[in-house]
Amino acid sequence: MTSEPKTDLQKLLHSRLEELSAKHKALREKRQEVDTEIKQLENDMVTLNEALNVEARATGTVITKPASNGSRLLGLRLGEAIRILREENPKLTKSGVRHKLLELGFDFKGKRPGTAVHMAWTQLERQKHKSGDT
């Protein structure tokens, strides 16, 4: 069996495919680096938020920095983020909270945002009623 020589078009297409494959591989590696950096930043934000809350409790002060810019919410647990948003704007609805968190790029950890917000909202309501803060 003899193979026919590749045509100029086939050579060109093969070359282009190799270029695209190399670029694809490079971008996937870059995305992996960016994803790793994002996770580290989220962990750092959680740590700093926890330290800020500990310091506020120790000094008896209230954290008044608004979360509306979003940076403070990104490293928090969902329930805590919702609590802060509701304190800032008591008229905010569940769908408003979901929209705001999606807009900020909040990590729902693979869960459906609507369901996750509903469950966390319900848990906050239960805690509020148990403490008598109706």
- Work out the number of other CB atoms within 10 angstroms of the CB of residue 70: 14
Token pair in block for residue 128: 């509020």
> How many structural domains does the chain have?
2
Report whether pLDDT(110) > 60. yes
The per-residue pLDDT for 3 is 59
Among 39, 64, 89, residue at a domain's last position: 64
pLDDT in tens, 74-100: 777 888 889 888 888 889 899 999 998
Domain-located, residue 25: yes
Question: pLDDT digit string (tens) for 4-34?
Answer: 668 899 989 999 999 999 999 999 999 999 9
CB 57 within 8 A of CB 96: no
- The secondary structure of 29-88, three-state, reads HHHHHHHHHHHHHHHHHHHHHHHHHHHHHHHCCCCCCCCCCCCCCCCCCHHHHHHHHHHH
Are 83 and 39 found together in one domain? no
Residue 47 has pLDDT above 90, yes or no: no
Same domain, 95 and 125: yes
Same domain, residue pair 72 and 58: no
